[in-house]
Amino acid sequence: MNDTTCKLLVIGAGPGGYTCAIRAGQLGIDTVVVESEKPGGTCLNIGCIPSKALIHAADTYETVARAADGKASLGISTQKPSLDFTKTIAWKDDIVRRLNGGVSGLLKRAGVRYVAGHASFHDGKTVEVHTTNGVQLIHAETIVIATGSAPIELLSLPFDGRVISSTDALALAEVPKRLIVVGGGYIGLELGTAFAKLGADVTVVEATPRILPQYDGELSDPVARRLRALGVTVLTSAKAKALVAEGTALLIETADGGQTTLEADKILVTVGRKPATSGFGLELLDLDMDGPYIRIDDRCRTSMRGVFAIGDVTGEPMLAHRAMAQGEMVAEIVAGHRRAWDRVAIPAICFTDPEIVTVGLSPSEAWDKGLEVKSDLFPFKASGRALTLDRDDGFIRTVARADNHVLLGIQGVGPGLAELSAAFSLALEMGARLEDIALTIHAHPTLSEGFHEAALKSLGHAIHV
């Protein structure tokens, strides 16, 4: 057995693990990262990047298809487009391949040793890695667990080719004619919308009374309206029960307690993700857990000295940028810097149509905390920029303390709003007040003026609404 030692060993090269390893390498720490699949993890290979590529392709196709149907209001007409989905998938795969190479290059440049293989714990200082060249034993002073998460499989609907996970959905050979999406959350709606735009007949089955239950109705309503316009059927308070008709149809319990059966070519199950905590000897460490997740403190330390955990394996929010921020922080802690998790807010974006952006507290979350707040919104119906984009659905909303006007939260829903998340996060992280936003010149014509106007409205002197 091949033996290696290092100061820092990172298990998993997803956004959390590779960021941690790169930063550690920059800081001169002798670092090894072990990855059983491809560099970049879920996000790069089967998550954020391929899904956003598919969403972009679907948006483009739908825009052209709408023009061909004479439904575009811009005076543009064209022939009915055709879709070579194999080429779409190949384009998406090429983006992923280029970024895989990018992550490998960055690790190399930082002096990180990359070991391709499956790691499992011997103890809190030693890991065994099964590589194509045999077994390697790695001894480390510090270990970071960054093993990520995996899709939840429903007992009654195991993944089997017709019942598929998000990973399968991102690698389909063709657009399914009839697609049922079980779970109207982030993944179900991002991918469900994309497939609807690509021509699939999509039905969303959501167990709660509303799609995107993690957001308030004000934010999810524009998405629900757009789904209706795209011809997507949304069944809320509905539960997927089992496959029937020799596996070709799904039995659904509807809101009124009745049952209905829907034929489907593919059934995409997106009911959440579970942390990757089994299959690599984690139980030998007997770490304290927080439900299914590894319990961490404000420095991402686990209950065992010298063992850290970051990213999805540590719980919600399961977002790539949270994993990256944790990874960077842990590398600096290992290098002896005084760091602790002190971020005011973690932005979240749902890449639906329109996109939803949230940072900090919603009005109801603030009220639940007993805070007295001023909250106002600027509707895109009053935005010149939104009208020039032919998309006036949505708004930007600010939530500020009533007493000193410090912003507690900013939310928005609108076309391409994802890019505004940085302005929202910065405002919260810098402790901005409504007056700071009001006194900042926002360029015209942009959707960002909605942020300015929402703040002005809260101060009682909006100009454009």
Residues contributing to the site for ligand FAD (CB under 6 A): 11-17, 34-37, 41-43, 47-48, 51, 118-119, 146-149, 166, 187, 276, 280, 311-312, 318-321, 323, 351
Binding residue for ligand NAD, selected from 205, 267, 282, 399, defined by CB under 6 A? 205
CA distance 33 to 388: 48
183 binds ligand NAD (CB under 6 A): yes
Query: In angstroms, what is the C-alpha Rg of the chain?
Result: 24
Q: How far is CA 214 from the centre of its chain?
A: 13
CB of 302 to ligand FAD, least distance (A): 14
- Give dist(CA 381, CA 372) in Å, integer: 28
> What distances in angstroms separate CA 108 from CA 22, 23, 146, one per listed residue?
9, 12, 19
CA 68 to chain CA centroid, nearest Å: 33
The least CB distance from residue 156 to ligand NAD, in Å, is: 8
Question: DSSP alpha helices (H): ranges in 215-319?
Answer: 217-229
Question: Quick one: what does residue 227 bind among ligand NAD, ligand FAD, none, with the CB cut-off 5 to 8 Å set by partner type?
Answer: none
> Is 337 a known active-site residue?
no
Contact 145, 309 (CB under 8 A): yes
Beta carbon nearer to ligand NAD, 137 or 244: 244
Which range of residues in 24-32, 140-148, 183-191, 300-308 is near ligand NAD by CB under 6 A?
183-191
Q: Is 347 in the site for ligand NAD (CB under 6 A)?
A: no
What is the spatial distance between Cα 268 and Cα 439, in angstroms, rounded to a whole number? Answer: 47
Task: Report residue 352 as tokens.
Answer: 């639906």
Place of tokens 């940085």: 422
Name residues contacting ligand NAD, limited to 110-149 (CB under 6 A): none
Residue 240 binds to ligand NAD (criterion: CB under 6 A): yes
Q: Partners of 438 in the beta sheet?
A: none
Among 15, 40, 188, 379, binds ligand NAD (CB under 6 A): 188
222, 352 Cβ separation under 8 angstroms: no
Decide which of ligand NAD, ligand FAD, none touches 188; Cβ closer than 5 to 8 Å per partner kind: ligand NAD
- Pair 12, 147: CB distance under 8 Å: yes
Among 11, 163, 350, 373, binds ligand NAD (CB under 6 A): 350
Q: Which of 56, 444, 461, 464 is catalytic?
A: 444
Residues 303-342 touching ligand NAD, rule: CB under 6 A, are 317-319
Judged by the rule CB under 6 A, the positions of this chain that interact with ligand NAD are 154, 182-188, 190, 205-208, 213, 239-240, 270-273, 317-319, 348-351
Catalytic residues: 444
